[in-house]
Amino acid sequence: MKLLSFALLFLVSLTAIGGEKPSVLFIMSDDLRDALGCYGHPLAKTPNIDRLAARGVRFERAYVQYPVCNPSRSSILTGLRCEQTGVVGNGTFFRSALPDVVTFPQLLRKGGWTTHSFGKIFHSANTGEGQRKDWLDAGKSWDKAQSVGPVAEKHTGEVRNLTGGKLPWCTVGIMDGPEENQPDAQTATEAIRSMEDLSASGKPWMVAAGFHRPHDPFHSPRKYFELYPKDSLPLHRDPADMTAAPPMTFGSSWQKIFAEFTDNDRRSFLQAYLAGVSFMDAQVGRLLGALDRLKLAENTVIVFVGDHGYHLGERGWWNKSTLFDRSCRAPMIIAAPGFKGGQVCNSPVEFVDIYPTIAELCGQKTPSLLAGKSLRPLLEDSAREHKKAAFTLVTRGPKNFGQSVRTKRWRFTNWSDGATELYDHDTDPQETRNVSAAPENAATTAELKALLATLPPWPKQ
């Protein structure tokens, strides 16, 4: 049996994408919801990501394990649920909880790949300069890891805080000067230079490019704001009969501040978010252009994801960290040589599935504790069923939390204070009517509660 397993693994490594080991381009966008042309957004101008979707598989129902940067990224890169990692905030370095865990870039590095990371892949925004190298995981996950920031002395433009300073992060910046002054342009430049250098070595490589946009502060070059004339932008309006959210839904008092927004403030926020999406898309286009120019696309696995979703006014919220689809769902596109492009997968998938997918496409054996399941069968045929449900966690302090399960039709959320939510996506895709108390849904609620019971316990034991 062991010999057979080894033979099958060896066969995968030779035949999955051709005779040589594939390289990997991993692209992550910060705070990106489905505001992309290929996801049907009516306004977003994202020709480069749309082009990537046309050569790969676009996952329509892809869900993160925690809708905040550090917990989500730690989960993606370790292939473990947050209930396993214990990382549920931006202040916990994943190796302080799991010092010996093997991330997927580390797995490839051990297998002979040279791995480079640029920009924000692992979260390190809340760390001091002395900690940043550790949080980047240089020397373990990466042969080289580099974060970048704006060119301070040239960082000029029209900058306004939308909350009068109450929320320092909520700042719109219409920036002047060359695009290369901005971190995302520098990230793309460094990633391209790395691909050029590594391709000449003849060894397989993994390059990760982590773009900050559309994350706050909402600073992007002026020309991307001009793509979205502010006065023409439509605003989301919640229905008057929407079910009130449970007490722990938002986890902060920011909703009161957001309620003070004028429609001009809301349009400024939306314009800046979309400008950031298009600026990020332009950098993705540079990466794809370099792959084609260097003739690397024929043997490169490309994975594009947002690290979680984002609200743009739904339920009066302009941020993440909820257990609604807007926060839990994020874009995922995978393009791999040898697989049909332009496919759309409607089966629920999870971001913990990324690790085993990359490992299988690269012919690498995965650790036994991984929570996900390889998406390779869906690259072959996107109409296949993958898994019954996807799961997301949020915490509200050390003891309070919510766990949510999403199937094709339903979202069910169970809060530690006993509150429950059930939304029928067949009739209510915006999750405005909580039908958990309806007698006719008792069997559905029981079934979804049983799915949540299969998760590792939280708080972590």
Pair 393, 350: CB distance under 8 Å: no
From residue 142, how far is each of 14, 55, 133, 137, 364 by CA, in Å? Answer: 25, 28, 11, 7, 17
CA-angle at 376, arms to 370 and 378, nearest 5°: 115
Pair 35, 277: CB distance under 8 Å: yes
pLDDT at position 149? 72
DSSP letter at 243 equals P
Placement of tokens 């993440």 in the chain: 320
pLDDT at position 148? 80
Pairing state of beta strands 218-221 and 205-211? unpaired
Rounded CA-CA distance 245/415 in Å is 12
Beta pairing partners, 392: 404
pLDDT at position 3? 41
Among 395, 433, 374, which residue's Cα sits nearest to residue 83? Answer: 395
pLDDT at position 239? 97
Q: Where are the alpha helices (DSSP H) in 200-308?
A: 222-225, 254-258, 263-293
Read off the pLDDT of residues 142-163 as tens digits, 9 standing for 90 and up: 999 998 876 665 668 999 999 9
Pair 360, 10: CB distance under 8 Å: no
For CA atoms 230, 231, 232, 235, give the dihedral sign.
positive
pLDDT at position 5? 40
pLDDT at position 6? 39
From residue 149, how far is each of 116, 118, 183, 225, 307 by CA, in Å? Answer: 18, 11, 5, 20, 19
Q: Is 415 helix (H, G, I), strand (E, B) or coil?
A: strand
202 half-sphere exposure, CB direction, 13 A CA radius = 0
pLDDT at position 151? 67
Pairing state of beta strands 349-350 and 62-63? parallel
Round to the nearest angstrom and report the end-to-end CA distance of the chain. Answer: 35
- Ranges of residues in the chain with a pLDDT under 70 are 1-19, 125-130, 150-155
Pair 191, 246: CB distance under 8 Å: no
Among 157, 129, 139, 154, which residue's Cα sits nearest to residue 220? Answer: 157
Longest CA span, the chain: 67
* Domain ranges for the chain: 22-387
Among 305, 341, 309, which residue's Cα sits nearest to residue 325? Answer: 309
Among 376, 377, 370, 373, which residue's Cα sits nearest to residue 388? Answer: 373
Rounded CA-CA distance 450/67 in Å is 22
CA 95 to chain centre: 20
Q: Which fold has domain 22-387?
A: Alkaline Phosphatase, subunit A (3.40.720)
If residue 111 lies in a helix (H) or strand (E), which one and from where to where?
A: none
Pair 272, 172: CB distance under 8 Å: yes
pLDDT at position 368? 87
